Structures are given as structure tokens and as C-alpha cells.
């Protein structure tokens, strides 16, 4: 590493400020002014120090030497790590003597997320869960005091393995944790909490998609016409029918129940539609009223009386319903959105574009998480 002090002109032409620059492997980093002021004649350009003619030359040269020692110590620390580094990283460490740990930085990011009105409470909770899991991982690896800028790709890969083996997380969840950490690191660099993005260029592997769990059209009709002896089971079945014909998530359906007068509008065809800005994505879903939904709402005397239960209770009852009707054992509330997607694509023959409008989606890739066209769609196209 080369450390260079040099004169820089100031407002008084008789004086100059001493500036500092470092060079590592041919790469420069400007550290700017040292705030040391000297008369032009009192600077030794060859020896890069203040001449004895300056009455405070001892003090000023000690300041310059102190900077050299600080930079050299930082440089030697990087050498001991035996990993590649840049002049910019040394500059960052020099200007930020009080480095923050990975978790301290994460906490700062969470505060930023929490104060952002564009971020939902659910998003904050999700990120906070990631924070707790990675802290658990770092403690296990005795790295909980690791500096933010020292978190590297190898650490992320270890964390992914930890989630898979220790926490038994599904691939999709591991992917979401990885994406959250990449977001955090980018934020940290943008806010100058870290000199570089050590995860830049790393592409998170796509998780292998599990078989979609949904009701076929025949199964849906079986559910719709079946009469359950248990009142709670019947209510769950009825609400699940609404999920299967609106495609909304739990939070959205609860919100629509409270604000149905705002959500229900006249469409351009003169019929009632549900226009609702999805809580998760802020994209407006435009859902026409299907007969099955009208029947359920009429049965309970209005949206405000729809017996929506918590996701946990719904999913527990749906397992029992699945066993009674011989459906897939993993039937859950999420299957409602997938049932609607399959029905629209493969039974009704809707285009992807129309289905995306209804579900409040922007891309084909997001649509594929809920359903895909199959040979039934091919037959519909052939018959046309």
C-alpha cells in the first residue's frame, strides 16, 4: 500500500491544506483533507512532511504519522485475513473506526423498514424473523460479533445449510431468507454502513416447486354440494368456497369483510366486481362475482356475517374435511387461490393475462406459483 500526502490549494494562495490518498494494487482511494494547514514554503514535497520552518512542525508531523500508523494497522489487518481487499475497503475502515456488527446493522435496517409507510407490518415481521434466525446461526458459529463488512458469500451458504438441516425449512423459505439478507446488504452499502456488497453477483438457486395442491373442478363441486353435520366444518367449507372463487389471501378477505361497501363496485359491464388493493403487493385485484360467491354471501346474509376463522383453525378443519371427502391431505387456505387459478386456466380457458388481472399479479412467473395450463387447456383450444 502506498500512502501519499500532497498539497492542495486553499482560499489563501500563500497557504495549502494537506490531502491524503492511498493506493492498493494500482487502485486509488482519495481520503481528502487532513485539516492540516501549512504555508506553501513550509511543505517538503520530497519527504512529504512539514519543514522545521513551521513553528508547529512537530505537532503537524505527528498528526501525519498518526494517520500513516492507523492506515498501516488497517492494511495489516486485511493482510492477516488472507482475503482479497481494495483501497476503498481500507478507506471505509479508516473513516468508520467504530465498525458495526452484522446484527447491529440488521437492527438499523429493521428500524428503517418499520418507519417506511410503503412497508407492511407483515413485511417487518418477516424480516424480523430472519434476523432472529440468523442471530441464532451466528451464535452457534461463534460469529455473533462479526462485523457487517466481513459477512461473505461463504457465511450465507453456511446459513442456508443451517436452515435446511437444523431448522428443517423448506426450499422456498430458505430462498426467502437468502433474498432478505441480500436486500439488507444492498441497503447497508447504500447507507454507507459497509464498503462493498460481498454477495453481489450471487444468484440464489430456484427452489424446486412442490406439486400444487388444489381442488379439481369435480372436487370443488363435491365440496360445494356436500352437507356437513358439524356446523363449524360447514362454515369452513363455505368460506373456503369463497377463497376458491375470489383468490384472496386471508388478510385481504378479512379486510374486504369489513370494507365490502368500498370493495364492491360496478364494472364496465354493469355488474358487481370486487376491486381490492392486495395488502401484500399493493396491486389491485379485479374479481368478477361468480355465482358460488353470491350463493355463500346470500346464505349468511351479507359479507359482514361471513364466518371467517383464523388461518390456523381453517387449516385444521380443512384437513378433517379433506379426510372426509377423500381430498389431498395437505389441503389448506392457500389451496383456494390455486383452485381458482386452475379452474380459470384449464376449465374456463381464460388467458394468462386475464387471470393475472383477477389475481392482482404482474408477471407470468408469479402466476405459475398458483397454477399452469395443462392438456385440458390444449383440448379447449383445439375445440375452438
**Measuring CA to CA, which residue among 148, 137, 133 is closest to residue 180?**
133
- Whether 209 has a pLDDT exceeding 70, the answer reads no
> Confidence band (pLDDT; 50, 70, 90) for 61?
very high
| Domain locations in the chain as residue ranges | 2-95, 102-190, 217-383
79-127 per-position pLDDT tens digit: 887 778 889 888 887 877 567 899 999 999 999 999 998 888 888 999 9
- Whether 160 has a pLDDT exceeding 80, the answer reads yes
The pLDDT assigned to 137 comes to 96
- Whether 280 has a pLDDT exceeding 90, the answer reads no
DSSP of 280-324: TT-PEEEEEPPHHHHHHHHHTTSGGG--PPPHHHHHHHHHHHHHH
- Whether 275 has a pLDDT exceeding 90, the answer reads yes
CATH of domain 217-383: 1.10.443.10
Q: How many CB atoms lie within 10 A of CB 192?
A: 10
> Confidence band (pLDDT; 50, 70, 90) for 17?
very high
The pLDDT assigned to 91 comes to 86
Helix (H, G, I), strand (E, B) or coil at 106: helix
CATH of domain 102-190: 1.10.150
- Whether 170 has a pLDDT exceeding 70, the answer reads yes
Nearest 5 degrees, angle CA 372-CA 378-CA 379?
Answer: 130
DSSP of 240-269: HHHHHHH---HHHHHHHHHSHHHHEEE-TT
- Sheet of strand 2-9, all strands in order from the earlier edge strand to the far edge: 2-9, 15-24, 27-39
**Measuring CA to CA, which residue among 78, 91, 77, 89 is closest to residue 31?**
91
The pLDDT assigned to 122 comes to 83
| Mean pLDDT (whole number) for 228-246 | 97
206: which residues sit within 8 A by CB, 6+ positions away?
A: 175
248 in Cβ contact with 285 (< 8 Å): yes
The pLDDT assigned to 205 comes to 84
Judged by average pLDDT, the poorest of 16-30, 119-133, 164-178, 203-217 is 203-217
| Mean pLDDT (whole number) for 271-282 | 91
Amino acid at each position: 500500500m502506498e500512502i501519499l500526502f500532497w498539497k492542495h490549494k486553499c482560499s489563501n494562495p500563500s497557504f495549502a491544506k494537506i490531502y491524503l490518498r492511498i493506493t492498493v494494487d494500482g487502485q486509488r482511494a482519495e481520503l481528502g483533507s487532513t485539516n492540516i494547514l501549512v504555508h506553501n514554503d513550509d511543505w517538503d514535497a520530497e519527504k512529504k512532511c512539514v519543514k522545521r520552518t513551521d513553528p508547529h512542525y512537530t505537532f503537524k508531523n505527528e498528526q501525519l504519522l498518526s494517520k500513516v500508523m492507523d492506515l498501516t494497522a488497517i492494511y495489516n489487518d486485511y493482510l492477516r485475513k488472507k482475503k482479497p481487499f481494495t483501497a476503498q475497503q481500507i478507506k471505509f475502515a479508516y473513516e468508520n473506526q467504530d465498525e458495526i456488527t452484522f446484527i447491529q446493522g440488521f437492527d438499523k435496517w429493521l428500524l428503517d423498514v418499520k418507519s417506511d409507510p410503503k412497508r407492511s407490518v407483515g413485511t417487518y415481521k418477516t424480516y424480523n424473523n430472519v434476523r432472529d434466525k440468523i442471530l441464532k446461526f451466528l451464535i452457534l458459529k461463534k460469529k455473533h460479533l462479526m462485523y457487517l463488512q466481513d459477512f461473505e458469500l461463504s457465511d450465507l451458504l453456511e446459513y442456508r445449510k443451517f436452515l435446511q438441516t437444523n431448522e428443517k425449512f423448506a426450499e422456498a423459505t430458505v430462498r426467502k431468507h437468502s433474498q432478505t439478507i441480500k436486500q439488507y446488504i444492498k441497503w447497508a452499502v447504500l447507507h454507507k454502513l459497509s464498503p462493498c456488497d460481498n454477495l453481489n453477483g450471487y444468484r440464489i438457486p430456484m427452489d424446486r416447486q412442490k406439486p400444487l395442491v388444489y381442488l379439481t373442478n369435480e372436487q370443488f363441486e363435491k365440496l360445494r354440494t356436500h352437507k356437513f353435520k358439524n356446523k363449524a366444518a360447514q362454515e369452513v367449507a363455505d368460506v373456503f368456497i369463497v377463497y376458491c372463487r375470489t383468490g384472496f389471501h386471508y388478510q385481504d378477505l378479512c379486510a374486504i369483510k369489513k370494507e365490502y361497501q368500498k370493495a364492491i363496485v360496478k364494472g364496465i359491464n354493469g355488474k358487481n366486481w370486487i376491486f381490492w388493493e392486495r395488502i401484500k403487493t399493493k396491486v389491485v385485484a379485479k374479481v368478477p362475482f361468480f355465482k358460488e360467491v353470491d350463493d355463500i354471501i346470500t346464505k349468511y346474509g351479507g359479507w359482514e356475517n361471513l364466518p371467517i376463522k383464523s388461518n390456523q383453525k381453517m387449516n385444521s378443519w380443512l384437513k378433517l374435511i379433506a379426510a372426509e371427502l377423500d381430498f389431498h391431505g395437505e389441503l389448506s387456505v392457500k389451496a383456494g387461490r390455486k383452485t381458482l387459478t386452475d379452474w380459470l386456466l384449464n376449465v374456463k380457458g381464460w388467458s394468462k393475462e386475464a387471470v393475472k388481472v383477477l389475481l392482482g399479479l404482474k408477471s407470468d412467473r408469479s402466476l405459475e406459483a398458483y397454477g399452469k395450463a395443462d392438456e385440458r387447456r390444449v383440448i379447449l383450444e383445439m375445440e375452438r
